[in-house]
């Protein structure tokens, strides 16, 4: 799954990048478009919670963990070098599960967060975000002003904002225009293999069109991000892309582990 300049932040590869690292292949004009922070290939992991255990003499199967048994969330509100998040990703079309792929913070400045991506010790690329986790650059892709996939403070239900940017392939001069919006839908508790998190569910929708594209083909993207303020990151992210109304990419990314520098 890992390819050069592809992160696990959500989606197959796409002007980088869910939680991808996302690549949408064969977009109008036959070009590959890399996107957003991480490989948006993700995983819907179903973890049972709060179910009453059956008596041992009736059912000897393992009992799923209760909320009380879950690990305490490690506070990581302010990013630091060494912070890391590991994600499993799932192609919802084929069911293929890959990962985990790890995102590690390498540097933090007052305006930017630099990260590297890796899987099984293999380099998966490098990206730069602003402090709200909007992607500014990744590999050959540069975003003006950013990819619009981050958060916007203050976080509150119903808040919305416009997404308008350009993704520029610095090697070939290809430019993709992105227009859409993001909205905080609700606050939710989300359980993953990494624990139970209080999150804000943010839905982002936008259209993609090559600036020189003559064709009427249109790619529409819908991404849902469950952002957990306590660890300053998403714990789940989904990514669906449609061309002329037809699904071509459907990926889910989910957090399986995280932590700070040892």
Residue 30 is part of a domain; what is its CATH number? Answer: 2.40.360
Give pLDDT tens digits along the chain (262 positions): 333 344 444 433 333 333 343 333 333 333 333 333 333 323 232 222 233 333 333 344 444 455 556 778 999 999 999 999 999 999 999 999 998 999 999 999 999 999 999 988 888 899 999 999 999 999 899 999 999 999 999 999 999 999 999 999 988 888 989 999 999 999 999 999 999 999 999 999 999 888 776 666 789 999 999 999 999 999 999 999 999 899 999 999 999 999 999 8
For the record, the structure tokens of 1 come out as 């799954």
In a domain, 241, yes or no: yes
Number of domains in the chain: 1
Q: Are 222 and 207 in contact (CB under 8 A)?
A: no
In a domain, 220, yes or no: yes
Nearest to 181 by CA among 157, 154, 152, 156: 152
In a domain, 179, yes or no: yes
Residue 221's contacts (CB-CB under 8 Å, 6 or more residues apart) are 180, 204, 205, 206, 207, 208, 239, 240, 241, 242
pLDDT one-digit tens code per residue, 42-90: 323 222 223 333 333 334 444 445 555 677 899 999 999 999 999 999 9
pTM, rounded to two decimals: 0.74
In a domain, 217, yes or no: yes
In a domain, 64, yes or no: no
In a domain, 137, yes or no: yes
What distance in Å separates the CA atoms of residue 89 and residue 101, rounded to the nearest whole number?
8
Bridge partners (DSSP) of residue 22 are 35
Q: Are 114 and 82 in contact (CB under 8 A)?
A: no
In a domain, 124, yes or no: yes
- Residue 215: the pLDDT is 61
Q: Are 202 and 18 in contact (CB under 8 A)?
A: no
Helix (H, G, I), strand (E, B) or coil at 208: strand
Domain span holding position 154: 22-45+77-259
In a domain, 50, yes or no: no
């Amino acid at each position: 799954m890992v390819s050069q300049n592809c992160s696990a932040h959500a989606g197959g590869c796409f002007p980088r990048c869910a939680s991808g690292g996302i690549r949408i292949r064969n977009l109008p004009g036959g070009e590959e478009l890399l996107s957003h922070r991480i490989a948006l290939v993700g995983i819907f992991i179903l973890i049972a919670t709060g179910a009453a255990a059956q008596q041992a003499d009736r059912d000897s199967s393992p009992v799923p963990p209760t909320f009380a048994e879950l690990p305490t969330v490690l506070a990581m509100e302010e990013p630091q070098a060494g912070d890391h998040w590991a994600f499993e990703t799932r192609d919802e079309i084929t069911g293929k599960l890959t990962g985990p792929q790890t995102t590690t913070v390498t540097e933090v400045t007052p305006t930017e967060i630099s990260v590297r991506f890796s899987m099984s010790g293999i380099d998966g690329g490098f990206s730069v975000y602003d402090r709200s986790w909007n992607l500014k650059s990744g590999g050959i892709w540069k975003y003006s002003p950013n990819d619009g996939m981050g958060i916007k403070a203050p976080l509150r239900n119903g808040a919305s904002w416009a997404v308008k940017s350009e993704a520029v392939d610095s090697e070939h001069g290809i430019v993709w225009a992105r227009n859409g919006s993001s909205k905080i839908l609700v606050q939710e508790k989300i359980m993953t293999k990494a624990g139970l998190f209080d999150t804000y569910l943010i839905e982002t929708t936008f259209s993609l069109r090559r600036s020189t594209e003559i064709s009427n083909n249109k790619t529409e993207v819908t991404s849902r991000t469950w952002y957990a303020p306590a660890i300053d990151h998403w714990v789940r992210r989904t990514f669906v892309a449609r061309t002329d109304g037809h699904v071509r990419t459907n990926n889910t990314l989910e957090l399986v582990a995280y932590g700070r520098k040892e």
